Structure 1
């Protein structure tokens, strides 16, 4: 489904300008949880978007409420919004806003969804559900026209681990399926990004075919790149078990573009915004279950994940229609 502005660029939308400019692409898991001052966090996300002015945006864990906050932003009209049909649920999460019918069990399991946004011309968009997902996960794909060259941008939120199952097999299968689907959209220039939920210790190396690169590993070798970090993200500092993982990634196959830079964003607390973290400790003493409640005030960040911004530039002479 296409929603939002129908014109892609207000200025500089000629082939010449598109071929000469750096293209910025953002991926961000925006955290659907309301406990963390949701409205403040979405405003902070908007500040990040205004500051970096990405040409293309991929968001995960978007809820109808988050979508509603975003579309009221002053920067929203600059973008075309791309979502799969059937994913724009009502805020109650119980009725599909397209059909007004009650959601199926599978639909209820995906109460949040992925969303893409583009300042650049979009030739086509599609959302393909994964065949093996019990969580209703899917791959969103947009064919972006950059001066006559097609760039296929895909995003997803791969299967999440849920105790006692880590669901590693499902993630690996979904990653492989995603790269195959992206490669079938008529272009050799491909980017796959999003919350991969990837843990190299359990999932192994990301399954990259020949010609694909992991942008962070390529540009920042030796740097951890943890986008989910219970030590660096003060909003998560109260968790019991330390977790530092590079869940969010950009993987690319770009013969007509050069991968120039990648940076992590959303690492600073929102000034003056705190939330109450409630901990309840339980223990057994003399055949009695004891409980102790403790409240702590913790900082709020734009999300429980950090975001990533990738910069690519067209190779000289690449601006010709893709075969």
Structure 2
């Protein structure tokens, strides 16, 4: 186990380094840079000289080649300096310190919601195949897979505004928006984020239900299940001791992608719901070509991905002893 952890740690470092290089290059691929994006936002009557444009590029370090820009960014990153956001004129570390805790406050409950709801429903649907509840769960699952999250968010906003006179967007009520942190503000956030957790987790729940149901149906038809039944093992003990442990493996293998997906993969939904998370921050950074901010967020997501994948590998070994490290 120790040798495996050491070996995987070295692989993770190499993986994160390669991803950082690719991410930095991809961010630079669109034509122009942050200065071009900034000039495009100026009013039509504003005249900017070429000397002023060159000065802006020198100020932001955009006059240097790509290799030099990457080297400065990655060396500063190793000592905890993520650079300055061109768009916000603040340190990237400060922006992430504001957004990341709120993002995790939504992401972690959403992940728990997905697995606690989807796995039992998937097991029940497989065991009670073609029952009325199985048809209902399958129908709801297909709806959740077919309709994107941001459309559910738009529908939720319309219904709450049209019929209830409220607004499900944002994490805080207006009176708590700028207020310092307190028990009342924390409770207000928990109350307001329930809709966001439901909407963001809906598609993941639907997909996990389908995977769990399909895998368990395959296992229930195996010969070892019939053998265990013939030996007199009780039905539910048989199901949870053998087929479920095998069928849950594909679900556990996706844990490495759930956390970064929930953090960055819901930019449009978070924008529609006006959530102060890293998703809209990354979207704005890419649109304005704010390379240090975008690259730092992608770097953090890369670390989360490789750590999550490592955790899912260990969980797979625990769930299915046939899998060897």
TM class, shorter-chain normalised? under 0.3
TM-score scaled to structure 1, two decimals? 0.21
Higher strand share: 1
Higher helix share: 2
TM-score scaled to structure 2, two decimals? 0.21
Which structure has the higher relative contact order (CA within 8 Å, separation 6+)?
Answer: 2
